[in-house]
Amino acid sequence: MTEEVKYDPWYKYGVIALYVEMFLAIAFSIFALYMTLTGSGGISRH
């Protein structure tokens, strides 16, 4: 059974924002994984 709900206008933007945040989290995790595999990641060797 699905409940019918009417949301305020901000809600759809909130849902978009949460997808953006998830994308950032996944992208950051991939970057960290790249560091564990290559030993690089913006760290100066000097």
Partner 1 sequence: MILAATGFFWCFLLWFSTAAFSPSIRAEYSLDLTDMAILASSAIWMAPIGRIVAGWASDKFGARNTFVIILIYCGIFSIFSSFATDYKTLFILRVIVASAGVSFVVGVQHVSQWFEKEEIGVAMGLYAGTGNAGAGIGMFLLPRIYGTDYSSAFLHLGIIALVIAGIYFLRGVDAKDEETRLRAKSTANVRGTLFVWTRFAAIALMLGYGISFGLEIAMNAWLPGYYALGFASNLESLGYTTVKQIQIAVGTFAAVQSFNASLFRPFSGYMSDLFQRRNWMPYPLITKKLPYSPRIHWLVTALLVITVSMILLTLAGLSGILPLSVVVLAIFGIAISFGTGSTFAIVPLMFKDRPGTATGFIGGVSTSFGIIYPLIFGAKALANIHIGYAIAAIVIFIPVILFVLWAMRYDESPEDHGIGSKEYWLGENTEV
Which residues in this chain contact partner 1 in the complex, by CB under 8 A?
1-3, 5-8, 11, 14-15, 17-19, 21-22, 24-26, 28-29, 31-33, 35-39, 41-43, 45
Residue 13 Cβ vs partner 1, minimum distance, rounded to whole Å: 10
Residue 29 Cβ vs partner 1, minimum distance, rounded to whole Å: 4
Half-sphere exposure (Cβ direction) of 37: Cα atoms closer than 13 Å: 6
Residue 38 Cβ vs partner 1, minimum distance, rounded to whole Å: 8
| DSSP string for residues in 3-32 | ------THHHHHHHHHHHHHHHHHHHHHHH
